[in-house]
A and B are shown apart, each in its own frame.
Chain A
């Protein structure tokens, strides 16, 4: 029986990173992972909420967890999953904080009901890599990404803090590396895998983001990558949408497409550019993908 998860898309999944959400759902369907969206979910407060008030943040998450509890009563759930590392971090941190009985009763007072919060919480990436395994992914890749040279970029919170996230190595994670290798891409060693891109400081301290994200793009270019592969809507946005801004600030001239890994999974599975929503990327991958097709053609 295929595993069924309560799915939390997160706000960006329905907005700025629609292509991440769409391709994630498609990828999961292919892999036989059933996703049931948490009905009437609300924003988890993202970065701002926990910065001002832990109770507020936990209550926002708590409501979603409580709805998932309801779902679990209806049918057997393997856990809660989300593609977004930031949402994931809020979900997992809240689950952790709820182990304090005093805090839990505060949260339950605000939410207005009990919150069990005992379902396992994972990122889609973790489920795909750990539960499906590399063989399944390789099988899925009917059109392997031959010749595509990529650097995997996890962002700083996908695997951190390790005590809470409990996924992969906090300093040198390999999940994305292995996944992309299974899809047929050439994965280059990338030291800045978990460096911060500046995250939401883009709205208040643009200079910080252009510096930090700029460094990541520089390193990707130095490594000789055709593209960066991201797993976080925020990172992807900073590297992709702000690439021109970064270039202006740093006097650089990068033109590096920044994919979501789920988009590449779709591509490798033969879903084509339209259904993987390649047109939603700001730095156009068109030329790269075309040259890739040509390269694959040569090989054949």
Chain B
């Protein structure tokens, strides 16, 4: 075998404290190395040309590049090899940047370690084999999980692109948080006027199947060939028959059911349609509030329903959908405001959340758009807004900025003034973070045109006082304490990962951060991909985002799916496990340890044997470690190759 070694300077990134020339020289001493050189930027156009030239000139069979991490450029160099006419698996990479030059300053020690890493790579390459990828068919249907604005956007894009789309939403209606908003910053246009038509498009699009009141039960398979099982929860109403006339809701005697859509301000009936623009506009019964389902009496809705749609005996239903790609768009949840005892949330009726305030502002809300205090229904005059409730606070485990609270608070002060011209808004803030287009201008308008008084500081306590509230806080610009008497206090609650996000991530086999937000494939270069092929992210499930960013990400995720589906077949990764049937004793250990279910037991000449389902295998290698016989080997990472690497270092 003829091996060539290329030691990259990476500018001063590596050459700054590794003697790359010396590394190349040492490499020439390793077996089968016929050519070695150092090079300024191996990944650049001239760098790659140099590799191709050397392959031809020295008749190379394999190449080692000592440079950065394989995560960055393994694919780049493999393509270079292909262009040079070699099999792309006859390539090894030694990471002498992240593993050497970035972590130590001692030139001599660094150079020695770099030489060792190159030695390891050479010994492995000597045992590499040419591998050939197979091909497999893909199912060009896509599932979108979560019907907020991001999921809606992604679903419509995919459907318009000709794909069959299944949209799964766990609430009775799609729309997410945006459907609860009154107006949206920075344009102050009506939220449901923008979103409403998009929701109708979802309902009417011939390519979209909508499952609401549904959750993901399990996910199997791999890119191009997933099988997703969806649990459609019982609505206790036959939605094929229900026309959404609403007759049932007028007769339901259980009128004190907590109203989820209105953020628990106000009550609703046990059978209800969440809001007038709901998609689908179907009634469903809240089982824990329904008198019939809890006590066996009533049944008023059944009597009145003109289409006979009520089904008290309805059960959950499981449906399995084959799809080729999945977009997760499960959004965020609001911070539990009762965690700050000093604000008295939960104790004082007029301390409410920003989302509750949106419902008070909304014409379709529980007060028909009149701002009324929950305690006595009076119109408030002095309103205190407190920002960063559950954001940027390490002590409660929420060190991150939720991103949109500064903006929606400004919006709410503007709307407040519009609703009640003689009201006064006060905003306690830490910093104003308004980096979007027209955003800073917007917060300034709140202060300058609408007279919201911004106070930089935290609130230490809220206390009831003569039917109002005393808000005590600090003004850190004045260096003084302030006290404001208010009629209503609105807490700008931050965002946290959607309930059950971590469990869903486990099912999808994607990573999530310590807070439960889903992790993108690369923070800069793969913002909507995940580390699992075929699964994409859109909107706030990846981290708090406002509507413009959520929508943009929905578009991007859809574009990725359309690009994926632009091919009819996908290449499979040949770096998967293979079973040597003669060695296999059929013990089944590999089958039980495989986290992906990629090994099945078969019968071969009357004996049980393991067999790898190549399209499912992720190449993790757990089976090879478990096999007592060494019968399962991971291609490109065989026992012999790993031992050769160890020997290179130790012998």
Residue positions of A touching B, CB distance < 8 A: 169-172, 189, 191-192, 195, 219, 222
Contact of B341 among A172, A192, A219 (CB under 8 A): A172
- B466–A171 touching, CB < 8 Å: no
Q: A191-B465, A195-B461, A219-B465 are known contacts; what are 19 more A-B pairs with Cβ within 8 Å?
A: A169-B341, A170-B341, A171-B340, A171-B341, A171-B342, A171-B344, A171-B461, A172-B341, A172-B344, A172-B347, A189-B464, A191-B344, A191-B463, A191-B464, A191-B470, A192-B463, A219-B463, A222-B465, A222-B466
Q: Nearest-CB distance from A66 to chain B (Å)? A: 34
- Can you name the residue of chain B whose Cβ is closest to the Cβ of A222? B466
Q: Nearest-CB distance from B46 to chain A (Å)? A: 59
Residues of chain B lying within 8 A (CB to CB) of residue A192 = 463
Lowest 5 CB-CB distances: which A-B pairs, in order?
A: A171-B341, A191-B463, A171-B342, A172-B341, A191-B464
CA distance A169 to B347 in the complex (A): 13
- Can you name the residue of chain B whose Cβ is closest to the Cβ of A223? B464
CA distance A41 to B463 in the complex (A): 40
Residue positions of B touching A, CB distance < 8 A: 340-342, 344, 347, 461, 463-466, 470
CA distance A195 to B342 in the complex (A): 11
Q: Nearest-CB distance from B247 to chain A (Å)? A: 44
7 contacts between A and B (CB under 8 A): A171-B340, A171-B342, A172-B347, A192-B463, A195-B461, A219-B465, A222-B465
Q: Chain B CB within 10 Å — which of A169, A170, A219 has the most?
A: A219
| Total A-B contacts with CB atoms under 8 angstroms apart | 22
Residues of chain B lying within 8 A (CB to CB) of residue A191 = 344, 463-465, 470
CA distance A219 to B461 in the complex (A): 15
- Can you name the residue of chain A whose Cβ is closest to the Cβ of B466? A222
- Can you name the residue of chain B whose Cβ is closest to the Cβ of A171? B341
Residues of chain A lying within 8 A (CB to CB) of residue B470 = 191
Residues of chain A lying within 8 A (CB to CB) of residue B463 = 191-192, 219
- Can you name the residue of chain A whose Cβ is closest to the Cβ of B464? A191
Residues of chain A lying within 8 A (CB to CB) of residue B342 = 171
CA distance A195 to B341 in the complex (A): 14
Q: Nearest-CB distance from A263 to chain B (Å)? A: 27
Residues of chain A lying within 8 A (CB to CB) of residue B340 = 171
CA distance A32 to B470 in the complex (A): 43
Residues of chain A lying within 8 A (CB to CB) of residue B344 = 171-172, 191
CA distance A172 to B463 in the complex (A): 11
Q: Nearest-CB distance from A190 to chain B (Å)? A: 9
CA distance A180 to B464 in the complex (A): 22
Residues of chain A lying within 8 A (CB to CB) of residue B341 = 169-172
CA distance A163 to B218 in the complex (A): 42
Residues of chain B lying within 8 A (CB to CB) of residue A171 = 340-342, 344, 461
Residues of chain A lying within 8 A (CB to CB) of residue B466 = 222
CA distance A191 to B465 in the complex (A): 9
Q: Nearest-CB distance from B476 to chain A (Å)? A: 20
CA distance A50 to B459 in the complex (A): 28
Residues of chain B lying within 8 A (CB to CB) of residue A170 = 341
Q: Nearest-CB distance from A27 to chain B (Å)? A: 29
CA distance A133 to B341 in the complex (A): 24
CA distance A222 to B464 in the complex (A): 11
Residues of chain A lying within 8 A (CB to CB) of residue B464 = 189, 191
CA distance A169 to B338 in the complex (A): 12
CA distance A222 to B342 in the complex (A): 21
Residues of chain A lying within 8 A (CB to CB) of residue B347 = 172
- Can you name the residue of chain A whose Cβ is closest to the Cβ of B462? A191
Residues of chain A lying within 8 A (CB to CB) of residue B465 = 191, 219, 222
Q: Chain B CB within 10 Å — which of A170, A189, A191, A195 has the most?
A: A191
Q: Nearest-CB distance from A198 to chain B (Å)? A: 14
CA distance A22 to B342 in the complex (A): 34
Q: Nearest-CB distance from A219 to chain B (Å)? A: 8
CA distance A29 to B463 in the complex (A): 38
Residues of chain B lying within 8 A (CB to CB) of residue A172 = 341, 344, 347
CA distance A195 to B466 in the complex (A): 18
Residues of chain B lying within 8 A (CB to CB) of residue A219 = 463, 465
Q: Nearest-CB distance from B245 to chain A (Å)? A: 46
Residues of chain B lying within 8 A (CB to CB) of residue A222 = 465-466
CA distance A87 to B139 in the complex (A): 73
CA distance A172 to B465 in the complex (A): 16
Q: Nearest-CB distance from B483 to chain A (Å)? A: 10
- Can you name the residue of chain B whose Cβ is closest to the Cβ of A191? B463
CA distance A219 to B464 in the complex (A): 10
CA distance A166 to B372 in the complex (A): 39
- Can you name the residue of chain A whose Cβ is closest to the Cβ of B346? A172
Q: Nearest-CB distance from A283 to chain B (Å)? A: 24
CA distance A195 to B460 in the complex (A): 11
CA distance A169 to B341 in the complex (A): 8
CA distance A222 to B344 in the complex (A): 19
CA distance A195 to B470 in the complex (A): 13
- Can you name the residue of chain B whose Cβ is closest to the Cβ of A173? B341
Q: Nearest-CB distance from B18 to chain A (Å)? A: 42
Q: Nearest-CB distance from A81 to chain B (Å)? A: 26
Q: Nearest-CB distance from A162 to chain B (Å)? A: 10
CA distance A270 to B464 in the complex (A): 36
- Can you name the residue of chain A whose Cβ is closest to the Cβ of B342? A171
Q: Nearest-CB distance from B43 to chain A (Å)? A: 51
CA distance A171 to B344 in the complex (A): 8
Q: Chain B CB within 10 Å — which of A169, A171, A189, A192 has the most?
A: A171
Q: Nearest-CB distance from A222 to chain B (Å)? A: 7
Q: Nearest-CB distance from A25 to chain B (Å)? A: 33
CA distance A67 to B461 in the complex (A): 40
Residues of chain A lying within 8 A (CB to CB) of residue B461 = 171, 195
Q: Nearest-CB distance from B239 to chain A (Å)? A: 45
Q: Nearest-CB distance from B456 to chain A (Å)? A: 23
CA distance A195 to B464 in the complex (A): 13
CA distance A170 to B464 in the complex (A): 18
CA distance A169 to B339 in the complex (A): 11
CA distance A15 to B560 in the complex (A): 79
CA distance A195 to B347 in the complex (A): 17
CA distance A49 to B344 in the complex (A): 35
CA distance A219 to B465 in the complex (A): 8
- Can you name the residue of chain A whose Cβ is closest to the Cβ of B341? A171
CA distance A261 to B479 in the complex (A): 38
